[in-house]
Amino acid sequence: MTVSAQPATLGLPGTDTLRDRATTALRRCGAAGLDAYPDAAPGDGATVAARTPLTGAVLAHLPATTPDQAEAALADAHRTFLTWRTVPAPVRGALVKRLGALLTAHQEDLADLVTLEAGKIRSEALGEVREMIDICDFAVGLSRQLYGRTIAGERPGHRLSESWHPLGVAGVISAFNFPVAVWSWNTALALVCGDPVVWKPSELTPLTALACAALLARAAADTGAPPGVHHLLLGGPRHGELLADDPRVALLSATGSVRMGRQVAPRVAARFGRCLLELGGNNAAVIAPSADLDLTVRGVVFAAAGTAGQRCTTLRRLIVHEDLADRLVERVAHAYERLPLGDPYRPGTLVGPLISTAAHTAMAEALAAARRDGGTVLTGGDRRFADEAPDAAYVRPALVRMPGQTGIVRTETFAPILYVLTYRTLEEAIALQNGVPQGLSSSIFTRDQREAEAFLAADGSDCGIANVNIGTSGAEIGGAFGGEKETGGGRESGSDAWRSYMRRATNTVNYSADLPLAQGVDFL
């Protein structure tokens, strides 16, 4: 693990410099710069504040999408669907191929905006944009592989088959922590599957959304695709409610908290729409006695402290065999104390800011609850640079030894807190791993093949993602991403996740001169 010296001060540039950086990136992507927007909000809820967690400063006030504009966007998306669904899938793939090329050309610009709005360190911001490019590559290949199947039927002279067709308008609600990648996972697949997209990004990351929308508009113009294949809704919860309630939205893919999912899912179900939910995670790693400690420490520290603990796949529970616990905890604590915290643009920084001071408040409350439950904070949890950046939240990742899986351990806190639990038997470890409401990602570090296979078995981890000798974060786009239980059950990205964006038809063709009935029924 490469680390550099902990900076004594942040040394961040001023707000004007950050605003200029955003303007440059936006213009290069084809969007308007921040100088096109007013310096102050009108105060009537008609704007969205573009704020940076680096300093807490507001960079611009962007006009929010009005209800009339949102309605017009949905109507246009639905009209576009009626023609886009008839375009051959490989031709639809050409649009996504062009988008991938534009993303490649502008990956530095998008990464700048991701760092500015989400606070990610440079390597993680570039990695997120790389995921966008990869999913475009995947979707382009997929555009020639939307396969159905031929089925063995029971009636002579008949052919039984399945085919897949475009579903309709796909609504996408994305979260701040992956402001561009999750949009691309959904959008690239939806477009090749024949579905226009209406996107409501997080209110915390509107600038990245403007850049992405501009690049896709350029790709559509370059390939002759209709502009109505994509619409952007900037604003608050009312747009999410519109997507949940409107029957023209055939699929709503929503990424966010369990609380948000509890609000969205019943509304979509009430109109018999289709939901794809990717909600909270409370991810655990089981550390077996045979684990390679060097490998384990590296995997644990990145999974727990990467993105300042603000990934849905962040490692939040460390379940360690009691014979190994003291040694491992000492090494993880030592690594934590050496993690450079500060300006995410600065080379060598490994931990940037939390998204807001409210996130720090939630973290402090969780640590207080852990102490009340008998936990011991071994390192971290303290805020840095508060005098220099009072409206930002730079917090050292916390390592907490817990006596058991108490209420706060069972709760996802979207901050860098890693709870350490111990176990005696593998059965006990798996029970602890499964003993939370969430079911997104999990892992085991072991050199024992029996333990590894037991963890992956039907009675092992109950998560949508189960890894061996790798952390809980860092999923590849080739595999379906998502989880079970309160994580929502949805799957995005690779494998056969494309089926969520299409409808299945079972087809029977009678090419005989007879009409035998199924199950041998004799009728007329």
Tokens read off for 467: 């890894």
∠ CA 466-173-407, rounded to 5°? 50
- The CA dihedral of 452, 458, 459, 463, to the nearest 10 degrees, is 80
Nearest to 432 by CA among 294, 316, 296, 280: 316
Rounded to whole angstroms, the Cα distance separating 332 from 417 reads 13
Q: Which residues pair with 441 in a beta bridge?
A: 465
Q: Which residues fall within 8 angstroms of residue 90, CB to CB, at 6 or more apart?
A: 143, 144
Rounded to whole angstroms, the Cα distance separating 118 from 104 reads 20
Tokens read off for 409: 């351990």
Angle between helices 15-29 and 107-118 (to 10 degrees): 140
**Would you say 231 and 248 are in contact if contact means Cβ atoms under 8 Å apart?**
no
Nearest to 344 by CA among 336, 352, 333: 352
Rounded to whole angstroms, the Cα distance separating 107 from 104 reads 5
**Would you say 196 and 251 are in contact if contact means Cβ atoms under 8 Å apart?**
no
Rounded to whole angstroms, the Cα distance separating 72 from 381 reads 47
**Burial status of residue 407 (CB atoms within 10 A of its CB: 0-12, 13-18, 19 or more):** exposed
User: Which amino acid would we find at residue 213?
Assistant: A
Rounded to whole angstroms, the Cα distance separating 297 from 295 reads 6
C-alpha atoms less than 13 angstroms from C-alpha of 340 in its C-beta half-sphere:
20
Give Cα 266 to chain centroid, integer Å: 21
Rounded to whole angstroms, the Cα distance separating 515 from 158 reads 9
3-class DSSP state for residue 175?
coil
Please identify every residue annotated as catalytic. 278, 312
Antiparallel, parallel or unpaired: β 169-173 and 197-200: parallel
